[in-house]
Amino acid sequence: PTEPWYIGGPVIKGFGRGSKVLGIPTANLSTKGHWSLLSEHPSGVYFGWAGLSTRGVYKMVMSIGWNPYFNNTEKTIEPWLLHEFNEDFYGEELRLVIVGYIRPEVNFPSLESLIGKIQEDRRIAERALDLPVYSKHKDDPYLISSL
Ligand code: ADP
Ligand code: MG
């Protein structure tokens, strides 16, 4: 494992493509001000810990990139928090400690194959984050420093 890296900001509106309907809601963060971090880290799928002000710290699996399946022209930061929430949390401060990388961004021939791969990413993230090398970052003060 390499050093973790950090991104935070208020949860913004995404494209509203119904990822929630697919069971894969992603709490989008603005890419503004994060250009240098994003250029240091390739597009792809990462995992780590997410701190949500007033709520807690959760496992997360995250896509950073262009979402080729949807032909985006803008890069996005989209963590899926691995927890069931009873409501949306747009506007809340979200802190991410990114501890590991799963795979590069690739295109998929169908929505089904995209969703299948994301579910596999989730299982990999869930298990990896239980390992001491990754679970120790759950206590990083950055995650809750906005509470
Ligand atoms: P958008 O396109 O606006 O990002 P999504 O369909 O990706 O919409 O849904 C994301 C929103 O759903 C988040 O901004 C958040 O308010 C809410 N949400 C609820 N549960 C979760 C979760 N487990 N992980 C991420 N976001 C969640
Ligand atoms: Mg989203």
Per-residue pLDDT at 69: 74
Residue 98 lies in a domain: yes
CA of 142 to the centre of ligand 2 (A): 23
Q: Ligand 1, residue 81: give the atom nearest the CA.
A: 24
Domain count, the chain: 1
Active-site amino acid positions: 78
Domain that holds residue 12: 5-142
17 against 113, higher pLDDT: 113
Per-residue pLDDT at 109: 92
Query: Nearest ligand to the C-alpha of residue 25?
Result: 1
CA of 68 to the centre of ligand 2 (A): 15
Cα separation, 54 vs 111, in Å, equals: 34
**74-104, pLDDT tens digit by residue?**
789 999 999 999 999 999 999 999 999 999 9
Per-residue tokens: 71: 């032909």
Per-residue pLDDT at 147: 54
Per-residue pLDDT at 25: 96
Residue nearest to atom 9 of ligand 1 (CA): 25
Please, which pLDDT band fits residue 113 given cuts at 50, 70 and 90?
very high
Per-residue pLDDT at 58: 98
Residue 103 lies in a domain: yes
136 against 68, higher pLDDT: 136
Q: What is the CATH number of the domain that holds 55?
A: 2.40.30.30
CB-ligand 1 contact for 83 (6 Å cutoff)? yes
Residue 147 lies in a domain: no
CA of 134 to the centre of ligand 1 (A): 24
Instruction: Decide: 121 and 101 in contact? Cβ < 8 Å.
Output: no
Q: What angle do CA 105, 129, 118 make, to 5 degrees?
A: 30
Place of tokens 């299948």: 116
Q: What angle do CA 27, 113, 108 make, to 5 degrees?
A: 85
Residue 66 lies in a domain: yes
In the predicted structure, residue 115 carries a pLDDT above the cut 90: yes
In the predicted structure, residue 65 carries a pLDDT above the cut 70: yes
In the predicted structure, residue 18 carries a pLDDT above the cut 80: no
Per-residue pLDDT at 61: 98
CB-ligand 1 contact for 76 (6 Å cutoff)? no
